[in-house]
Amino acid sequence: MKFSTLSVFSDIIFITTICSLCTPPITSRATTALTVSNVRHATLVAIFVNQTELPVSLDVVKPALQLGIMEANRRYPNLKFDLVIREDSRSCMNNYAPVFAAEEYLLRKVNAFIGPVCTYALDPVARMASYWNIPLLTVGGVGVPFSKKNIYTSLTRLAFALGKQFNTYKVKFN
């Protein structure tokens, strides 16, 4: 595991701390009364599909995510971070990433999505996350279409963007 990968995913955990502050306090039942806890929960859903676009796989990222969750839980005792990992072994072209996103959205109070990386999986997940107003963080989405913030309103790309690289080269060589 590279230090930069750990650093990026620790930053992701920190970003979702901000998201979790908006969630209502969790309640628990005592014997006869309802007790309100001061612990707030933040649920992060990481979605991975089999892809070859970028050298990012669950095997590489999972330890960094788990370390980031442990560190965030240690730093913020009033916040409880939960990580849900969904993995699809199908190719990027034929994947269940949007199904996973919709299912998790309906089953849990999702505070943020992490991934997917491949373009074909990212597009529908990013559109749904924007509709639900849930942050989506990915190292994918390098194509120019993902820069349309009027469509992908909650998408944060943590990698390079081809449109910006093209503009850099265009300015340099003109």
* Residue range 71-95: mean pLDDT, rounded: 87
What's the pTM? 0.71
pLDDT reading at 145 higher than 70: yes
Long-range contacts of the stretch 98-105 (C-beta < 8 A, 24+): 98/124, 98/125, 98/128, 100/45, 100/47, 101/45, 101/47, 101/125, 101/128, 101/129, 102/128, 104/45, 105/132, 105/134
- Res. 87: pLDDT tops 60: yes
**pLDDT at position 144, please?**
80
What is the domain count for the chain?
1
Would you say 137 and 12 are in contact if contact means Cβ atoms under 8 Å apart?
Answer: yes
Buried/exposed 73-91: b ≥16 CB within 10 Å, e otherwise: eeebeebbbebbbbbbeee
Residue 44 has pLDDT above 50, yes or no: yes
Distances 32 to 24, 25, 26, 35 between C-alpha atoms, Å: 22, 19, 17, 9
Mean pLDDT of the chain: 76
Joined tokens for residue 131 = 């509709």
Between 39 and 99, name the one with better pLDDT: 99
pLDDT at 123: 93
The CATH number of the domain where 103 resides is what? 3.40.50.2300
Instruction: Single out the residue of 118, 109, 123 nearest to residue 80, CA to CA.
Output: 109
Mean pLDDT value of segment 11-17: 53
Q: Which domain holds residue 89?
A: 3-173
